[in-house]
Structure 1
Amino acid sequence: MHQRIAIFVATLATGLMIATPAYVHPHVFAEARLDITINPDGTVQKLGHVWRFDDLFSSTVLVEFDKNGDLKLDEKELTDLANTINASISEFDYFQTVTLDNKKVVMAPPEHLIADFQNNQLLIIFESKPKQPLKLGKVASFGVYDPTFYTAIDYVNDSDIHVTGLPANCKSKVVRPNPDEALAANQATLTDSFFNDPSGTNMSKIFATKLEIDCPAKG
């Protein structure tokens, strides 16, 4: 049976379960913010991500990385944490889903990933850029999701996704898929392997909240 350690969660937290089909539901929760910056020429300059994790997981991370036992993370401990997270989620494209006309857009790895604690909650902060210039046209979508179903990362409010520099001919909207409708709409492409072990597929993205930017051709 296919097994995988879901994300850095299972690497960091001693005793957490490996995500197998019997346990395919979120174990960790994070509130996200996404800031999309568009250049004057209509290309995407960067995506700015901030993820704030739940109290329980944040406490687990604190205990795991507080090597000197002072109940806080100093600069070196935060750097070690950031490096661990960076190495772990890189294989999942940093949980990003970016498409243009329903085709995947490859994102370059972030130059820096920051781990911090505010109000006893773990924050992950990073910026990413398209690997090749991404010119808005037709429909582009931007969001985050954990393909292993282990972590629920979502935008609590529509305003948590913000666009700077949106061209005048473009419109944006936040899309929050209804799980039942998403399953029904994708029934033809879902296989038994998805229902038996969605963590072994890449289809959890159909449930992801995302921002869609539609830029019809100028007349």
Structure 2
Amino acid sequence: MKHLRQGVRRATAFGLALLMVSLMTGSPAPLSAHPHVWVSALAFLGFEDGKLTKLRVQWAFDEFFSLVLYEDFDRNQNGIFEEAEIDAMREGAFTGLGEVGFFTDLRIDNARVAWNGAEDFGIAVSEDGSVVSYSFTLTLPEPVDPVQQAVTISLYDPDFYVAVDFIEDRPLRFRGNDGVACTYEFEEAADNPIYFGAVFPWRAVLSCSGKGA
């Protein structure tokens, strides 16, 4: 997560010295100091031949952290993230999140998937330019039959510097799932507390039927 944290460094100018001490030393900060970045998330579940093969994840940052990204990576200050600037953002404020699984906890029969990097990193901005979004693809190590296997998805930062919340409108969406019908329900991940047991992420539990039955 250190690369995303590097992107927050400019926030010290806004009085977040305590946050930066925590980030650089690894020492825990008070609960009241967390979180400092907010993300609204959406996940597309990609299928091939009735099997789940990948996730396409989108994060929309809060306006404050979006401003930090502009300050750090819009080097010519024209309000547009150009190709070289996107490359710098990927390397400086995204790639290192592989250390914490890109905040994406996908479990198959309760075994957490280990991601082998992320692909197709992209940037989008809202119409008024105030919200910056990341998008990226995570590929499963091998295809998964969600009819025969239990699949859950939870999005969170284990250190709770970043609050990741699913959007309200269809937070999980399905692509290429011909012959497989899936629904999902959310529950608190009571068996997976984070931040010293004070926070319980939300977990989507899939229920699928069809081709693999």
Give the structure-2-normalised TM-score.
0.76
SS in 2 for 1:138: coil
SS in 1 for 2:139: strand
Give 1:25 deviation, angstroms: 2.3
Task: Count residues with an aligned counterpart.
Answer: 195
SS in 2 for 1:133: strand
2:154 aligns with 143
AA of the residue aligned to 2:121: L
2:99 aligns with 91
Give 1:210 deviation, angstroms: 2.3
Q: Deviations over 1:83-104 (max 9, x none)?
A: 2233221111111111111111
Which of the numbers 22, 29, 40 marks the counterpart of 2:38?
A: 29
Is 1:62 the counterpart of 2:70? The answer is yes
Closer, same or farther in 2 for the Cα pair 1:7/1:144, shift >3 Å? farther
Distance in 2 of aligned mates of 1:58 and 1:190 = 28
AA of the residue aligned to 1:194: F
Give 1:168 deviation, angstroms: 5.4
Give 1:160 deviation, angstroms: 2.2
AA of the residue aligned to 1:148: D
Q: Deviations over 1:138-182 (max 9, x none)?
A: 3211232111111111112151211234475754213142xxxx5
- Kindly report which structure 2 residues correspond to 1:51-200, keeping only aligned pairs within 5 A, or say none: 51-118=59-126, 119-120=128-129, 121-136=131-146, 137-166=148-177, 171-177=182-188, 185-186=190-191, 194-195=196-197
Preserved contact between residue 153 and residue 205 of structure 2 (Cα < 8 Å): yes
Preserved contact between residue 158 and residue 174 of structure 1 (Cα < 8 Å): no
Higher alpha-carbon deviation: 146-155 or 166-175: 166-175
Is 1:208 the counterpart of 2:198? The answer is no
Preserved contact between residue 46 and residue 127 of structure 1 (Cα < 8 Å): yes
Calculate the aligned-residue CA RMSD, in Å.
2.9
Higher alpha-carbon deviation: 72-81 or 207-216: 207-216
Is 1:13 the counterpart of 2:8? The answer is yes
% identical aligned pairs: 20
2:25 aligns with none
Distance in 1 of aligned mates of 2:168 and 2:176 = 21
2:52 aligns with 44
AA of the residue aligned to 2:44: D
Give 1:129 deviation, angstroms: 0.9
Distance in 2 of aligned mates of 1:67 and 1:167 = 44
Give 1:49 deviation, angstroms: 0.8
Higher alpha-carbon deviation: 116-125 or 161-170: 161-170
Gaps of 5+ in 1: 1-5, 199-203
SS in 2 for 1:21: coil
1:201 aligns with none
Distance in 2 of aligned mates of 1:160 and 1:97 = 15
Preserved contact between residue 26 and residue 152 of structure 1 (Cα < 8 Å): yes
Closer, same or farther in 2 for the Cα pair 1:170/1:74, shift >3 Å? closer
Distance in 2 of aligned mates of 1:46 and 1:190 = 26
AA of the residue aligned to 1:11: Q
